[in-house]
Amino acid sequence: MRKRMWILLLALALAATAGVASIAALANYETGAAARVSEDTLEKGGYTLAEYNGVIGVYEGDRLLMTADVPLESLRAVDREQIVRGIAVDTWEQAVRLLEDFGA
User: Along the 104 residues of the chain, how does pLDDT read in single tens digits?
Assistant: 445 544 554 554 445 444 443 333 333 334 344 444 555 544 556 999 999 999 999 999 989 999 999 999 999 999 999 999 999 999 999 999 999 999 86
Q: What residue spans define the domains of the chain?
A: 2-101
The secondary element (H helix, E strand) that includes residue 98 is helix 92-101
State the DSSP H helix or E strand holding residue 87, giving kind and residue range, or none if neither.
strand 87-89
Report pLDDT for 104. 67
Per-residue pLDDT, 103: 86
Question: pTM for this structure?
Answer: 0.59
Q: How far apart are CA 31 and CA 36, in angstroms?
A: 13
Residues 67, 102: Cα–Cα separation, whole Å: 13
Q: Is the dihedral of CA 99, 97, 34, 40 positive or negative?
A: positive
Query: Would you state the pLDDT for residue 24?
Result: 38
Residues in the chain: 104
Q: What is the pLDDT of residue 53?
A: 95
Give the model's pLDDT for residue 89: 96
Report the distance separating Cα 8 and Cα 43, nearest Å: 24
